[in-house]
Amino acid sequence: MAATPTYLIPLGAPAPDFTLPEPLTGRLWRFKDVKGSKGTVVVFMCNHCPYVQHILDKLLELARKYKEQGIGFVGINSNNVETHPEDAPEKMAALAREKNFPFPYLFDETQAVAKAYFAACTPDFSVFDAENRCVYRGRFDASSPKKEVPVTGEDLSRALDALVVGQPVDPQQIPSIGCNIKWKPGYEPYYF
């Protein structure tokens, strides 16, 4: 497990569109389907990553809270399931069912969406405003699996609180750190 930081795309960048399947339901989702009226959180995540497991329950709690305030959420798994079968679509569906995900958990088999979002790690957060412009590329909070810091989601929550009330999001942001996305051989993006 290599700790990898978020690659910081420029704030103001538009949200790339996507069409991805949800293993739980078989439905295809696009960005416009998950978009919230006040903003949207796109989180690259997976089943096996200890960094994701560490924050998952709090992430689901925050998603439920902020969805009621106009913030859309989507989870995307872009990992190579040949090397990491625990992230396979059927395992994604099982986790989403077990935890009652309040957002679609989509599978990016080609890894093209991860590249479009400059995703580097799991979890990797991109937050977009109501006009689909990136306003946040930072961490969930200061916790990690080996730190004695409680999981609060405070960094992400601050950004979402600003969006909900129509205030600018603080541009001073600390990158997320997690497991690197498990790229297919020869698929590694140019930004590494």
DSSP letters along the chain, please? --EEEPP-PPTTPBPPP-EEE-TTT--EEEHHHH--SSEEEEEE--SS-HHHHHHHHHHHHHHHHHHTTTEEEEEEE---TTT-GGGSHHHHHHHHHHHT-SS-EEE-TTSHHHHHTT--EESEEEEEETTSBEEE---S-S--TTSS-----HHHHHHHHHHHTTPPPPS--PPPEEEEP-PPTT---TT-
Report if residue 118 sits inside a domain. yes
pLDDT-derived band at 8, boundaries 50, 70, 90: low
pLDDT digits (tens, 9 = 90+) for 24-49: 999 999 999 999 999 999 999 999 99
pLDDT digits (tens, 9 = 90+) for 59-80: 999 999 999 999 999 999 999 9
- Supply the pLDDT for residue 28: 98
- Supply the pLDDT for residue 79: 97
Beta-bridge partners for 19: 30
Structural domain count, the chain: 1
pTM value surpassing 0.75 = yes
- Supply the pLDDT for residue 50: 97
Which CATH number characterizes residue 90's domain? Answer: 3.40.30.10
| Residues 6+ positions from 185 with CB-CB distance below 8 Å | none
Report if residue 18 sits inside a domain. no
Average pLDDT over residues 162-180: 95
Report if residue 56 sits inside a domain. yes
Given a cut of 80, whether residue 126 has pLDDT beyond it is yes
Report if residue 29 sits inside a domain. no
Domain range for 78? 3-7+35-130+138-180
- Supply the pLDDT for residue 189: 73
